[in-house]
Structure 1
């Protein structure tokens, strides 16, 4: 996480945008992303020039001889009015001309420069010029901090998944460096970034760990060298139908070390998806991590018939689970967040989906989350479904998360700030326990239905109409309550009443 002066600088930049008339958090992040992209292009060009001087190896120029004034280190020296004109008319036109040459460039084609104030542009350029964009250990955290300022829910049930929930889900499916990872509704690419961070941490030697003065660690991923080409260009795939989100997603991945992620503008529920992207739409991925939109319904004629053939519905939360099953390779696995209604809904479509998960695939886990996990975006109760495409379910692991390490109100403060500073890593946070029990699970061992974690055989789920709500299977122990004898209660009340009367008499005597 970022602290100190760097955090103060970001907060000041955010405040400058606000006072400059740009108050939509998504727009602020988008505009900052554009300027960060402009600086990164110049940094890349400078590095290429220096490499050429040493090796004389040819490279593809980003800026032509007549475009040198568009480079960050040149236009940042201009006066305010001249800088605004160069960025608005030159730099952004250059962005649009890059479409097809990079993932980020593809989403600059319709980019709009919203900064109208020369003073705001100068302030933003100065602030971004001071950011450590070349420090791989900081720039990812920097962008996460920016994304954390998205405090309002989007339309169609979109909202950002907390970083610690993403990490928990990544740990559940354990992506490997030889695999492909997808998200059919990627938003800002939090799950893809989470998978990348996991790979770096799990595939760094002891010598490859850099420990900083503040105790934080950077995982260099030095053991990933044989897989680096695959990771950079072929591993990560995301789709969304919000162009702003895609621009931010591409920048997010770029700042986390993924130079060429496969990010596309596409409604993956639409019938055009398998036609445009046949390899990704069917049997395309080893791992899918997703928190797809919950709200809204779609016109049936817009949805691909392969989805409605499994569940005849317009509800997006059901269609996305079917879509994910189609997108996975046989044996591929997914951790997907769904609203609680998916677990127990009584419609034919709800039951058909659950039956498909249990009887035609391997439903491995239902992990219920507390309702405050997604505040302040939404208070909806949710669960994480963990499943494998193909096979047949034998037992399902159930776990009820009561606390995730943060307060469950709109403030979402860390547990240590709401209780005491000495809380250990697992106190006030069930996710540690859930992960440990998941890894050690076993149908013969996890039989106590009164525990937080237990396993249920598939035949019992079938008998209960494929209901997947944890309360349907959990046993609640009712402790006996000892009551005082009514006569003793009356005697205590009379004694208390006499004591009060005596106090009142003493008070009256004192008043004369």
Structure 2
């Protein structure tokens, strides 16, 4: 069976199941279980003969011999049993449920998976199939899966700027479906960048990546995504922890942290009160290694990421706008970040590129440094890829090529040779501009929320975007405003509950 026919079968069967109410996410989940079991079966055969830890009564062959209600019952028992196993096996099957209620369709899916030799298939082919499904799943806005999917064009550009080196560790404390890991793996394994020896290849596959993902289904997808790209082993330990990264120091430090922590301003815990009603309580993380105590999830992730870095470590983290201007703990954290790290670059992103609507985000690039009486940040370079930029997810999605100018301006091979494209008189439209530490530190609340380009939609009617783009942008802005009001309301409600 060739690649095209495999992809065609995978997609056509997904369409069949959608008619029965099985969404991309549920389909992807079941496909993950079955491909893993089939690959385990292939690894148990010659020439591999590996023991993966799957009991014989729950192996791939046991699924192939059953039909109808017997198959459904056996599949449910299999999922439950394998979820209790240790290592990656248990992580893949944790909290697993059967979402395909028709045994005939389940059998057809098993037969489809059985018709492919997955171990022999190239990692790029398997990866493309799986990544395609992940992106389709992210497009299903009702499922909420989009919040775990960072646009791959953005991830690739970030990795291109950071340029990770071999024999270095890479962490992501909110790794979602593993996008940063895969892009870093592709960069490191590309012969155009490095010629890896045997030891470096082993390190890349087994020791480079470390992550956290608290949502069981998303963690499962991440593990399978990495495994299909030949990162880790089927019988190895999981590189992705189910623990909340913010609760306590990890005890480990890394060379790089690449992350897009989940959007949403506050960390909260739901519970049932004495009257049987659902309430939520803001979570604050009291950690001595944090600069400030706050319930703002984004600010906590920025602090946590800094603690994960080695003294020579580098970070690139996607954050919403409030991290750049919020007062209180936000001001403290920004000032400490400027003083204790070299916060050298901020990429300002447009709306319309994330599957979560109304998101206004930025990428912070900073290098950790040892303790010093003087601020490490001397100047911060801004690239404004928001003003007069219009993207939509379907009609005009952001591509890697759209960020080519930013990558060139970033000057990844030697960022100390940068040149501004902005000039007050010669080129007021330049998107690349630097501000020194003194200017930023003197701003109200040490705000890093800076723009200098004129919004042409306010002055040049001839250059207005298409009506559809305008409508989508209006919706994005309205939803962003609604999200802000919901956070204010949640904060007021929480304050009322404490009185």
Common fold by TM > 0.5: yes
Distance 1:363 1:204, change over 3 A: closer
**Larger radius of gyration between Structure 1 and Structure 2:** 1
Q: Which has the higher contact order (CA 8 A, sep 6+)?
A: 2
**Could you tell me whether the CA contact under 8 Å between 2:316 and 2:364 is conserved in 1?**
yes
Q: Indicate the SS of the match to 2:168.
A: coil
Deviation at 1:247, TM superposition (A): 1.0
1:247 aligns with 2:236: no
Which of 313, 337, 359 is equivalent to 1:380? 359
Which of 226, 229, 248 is equivalent to 2:199? 226
- 2:47 corresponds to: 50
- 1:501 corresponds to: none
1:118 aligns with 2:115: no
Distance 1:384 1:131, change over 3 A: farther
**Could you tell me whether the CA contact under 8 Å between 1:185 and 1:291 is conserved in 2?**
yes
Q: Distance in 2 between matches of 1:156 and 1:86?
A: 29
Distance 1:307 1:264, change over 3 A: same
Q: Distance in 2 between matches of 1:51 and 1:233?
A: 18
- 1:184 corresponds to: 173
Please give the residue correspondences for 1:15-414 in structure 2 after superposition, counting only pairs within 5 Å: 15-23=15-23, 25-46=24-45, 49-51=46-48, 60=51, 62=53, 67=56, 70-73=58-61, 75-76=63-64, 78-89=66-77, 91-96=78-83, 99-100=85-86, 102-131=87-116, 133-134=118-119, 135=121, 136-150=123-137, 151-153=139-141, 158-202=147-191, 223-259=196-232, 260=236, 261-270=238-247, 273-274=248-249, 278-280=250-252, 284-298=253-267, 302-306=283-287, 309-345=290-326, 347-374=327-354, 376-390=355-369, 392-402=376-386, 408-413=391-396
CA displacement 1:458-478 (0-9 Å, x = unmatched): 12211224322231xx36599
**Could you tell me whether the CA contact under 8 Å between 2:410 and 2:418 is conserved in 1?**
no
- 1:461 corresponds to: 440
Q: Distance in 2 between matches of 1:470 and 1:224?
A: 45
Q: Comparing 228-237 with 125-134, which one deviates more in the overlay?
A: 125-134
Distance 1:116 1:448, change over 3 A: closer
**Number of residue pairs aligned between Structure 1 and Structure 2:** 423
Deviation at 1:296, TM superposition (A): 4.0
Q: Distance in 2 between matches of 1:29 and 1:176?
A: 33
Q: Distance in 2 between matches of 1:286 and 1:255?
A: 25
**What TM-score, normalized by structure 2, do the two folds share?**
0.76
Flag structure 1 segments of 5+ consecutive residues without an equivalent: 53-58, 206-221, 417-424, 482-512
Q: Distance in 2 between matches of 1:172 and 1:435?
A: 6
* Backbone CA RMSD of aligned residues: 3.2
Q: Indicate the SS of the match to 1:305.
A: coil
Q: Comparing 192-201 with 323-332, which one deviates more in the overlay?
A: 192-201
**Could you tell me whether the CA contact under 8 Å between 1:177 and 1:224 is conserved in 2?**
no
1:438 aligns with 2:419: no
Q: Distance in 1 between matches of 2:283 and 2:265?
A: 14
Q: Distance in 2 between matches of 1:444 and 1:195?
A: 24
Which of 406, 422, 426 is equivalent to 1:448? 422
**Could you tell me whether the CA contact under 8 Å between 2:421 and 2:431 is conserved in 1?**
no
Distance 1:444 1:33, change over 3 A: closer
Q: Distance in 2 between matches of 1:403 and 1:36?
A: 44
Q: Indicate the SS of the match to 2:287.
A: helix
**Could you tell me whether the CA contact under 8 Å between 2:348 and 2:385 is conserved in 1?**
yes
**Could you tell me whether the CA contact under 8 Å between 2:353 and 2:397 is conserved in 1?**
no
Flag structure 2 segments of 5+ consecutive residues without an equivalent: 269-280, 371-375, 460-499
Deviation at 1:387, TM superposition (A): 0.6
